[in-house]
Amino acid sequence: MTHLFAAQQDPADNLLPFDGILNDHGAVFAPDEADAHLRHLLADIPWRHDEVVIAGRRISTARQVAWYGDAAFGYTYSGVTRTALPWTDRLLAIKARVEQCMAPIRPEYPGFRFNACLLNLYADGTQGMAWHSDDEANLGPDTVIASVSFGATRTFALRHKRTGDKREMPLTHGQLIVMRGSTQTHWQHAVLKSTRIHAPRVSLTFRTFLA
Ligand SMILES: O=C(O)CCC(=O)C(=O)O
């Protein structure tokens, strides 16, 4: 297993060996700012258990989610459609910081902006996210996904669909990573479970929705 980094990375570095781009911006929120975001997100977001359809049966996940966007988009994955809630001021402020951090890659994406965000709440390490790619048609090809973490450090893993190559990295309080290029076509990602983690983590995954 290759660990992606031990020390702070240059956000311009690509942490994937091939077939995609993963940039690590490190902690882009100061600890007190990140603490305030975590506290308010835990209290104010109308968290709901996610639902997936497996073998024709609708199953509720342990993890909770919320889906926000510019418009009441319907977002369908794992056989279930969710309708976006309107942005809150806090989410817009976090989004603005993320977009500001991504300024160096803007020239590669003329007119680019995020218009939606899927939030995930993991109450503790017993809750994770299974291997998947964010390759739904309404995200388009070579989609850009920015992921911000608040709360407990969790291990984020990537696995190449053909070669099985794996990468793992800890995602810490206030950290921003960006997946782009052909990452969603060639790699799956997951949030690994651990019985040693007893605190919550919230992730915000900003996306550009085409419909
Ligand atoms: O919580 C995370 O960091 C990953 C979330 C994720 O994989 C997703 O929303 O598709």
- Cβ(184) – ligand 1 distance below 6 Å: no
- Cβ(134) – ligand 1 distance below 6 Å: yes
pLDDT digits (tens, 9 = 90+) for 136-172: 888 989 999 999 999 999 999 999 999 999 999 999 9
- Cβ(191) – ligand 1 distance below 6 Å: yes
pTM above threshold 0.85: yes
> How many domains, in total, are found in the chain?
1
- Cβ(45) – ligand 1 distance below 6 Å: no
CATH number for the domain spanning 137: value is 2.60.120.590
For the segment 20-27, the average pLDDT, to the nearest whole number, is 97
Ligand 1 atom with the smallest distance to the CA of 147 is: 3
pLDDT digits (tens, 9 = 90+) for 62-96: 999 999 999 888 888 778 888 899 999 999 999 99
Residue 75 backbone zone (phi > 0: left; psi -120 to 50: alpha; other: beta): beta
Q: Over pLDDT 90: what percentage of the chain?
A: 74
C-alpha span between 187 and 151 (Å, rounded): 25
Residue 56 backbone zone (phi > 0: left; psi -120 to 50: alpha; other: beta): left
Q: Which domain holds residue 106?
A: 2-207
Distance 103 CA to ligand 1 centre (A): 22
pLDDT at 211: 65
- Cβ(121) – ligand 1 distance below 6 Å: no
pLDDT at 5: 41
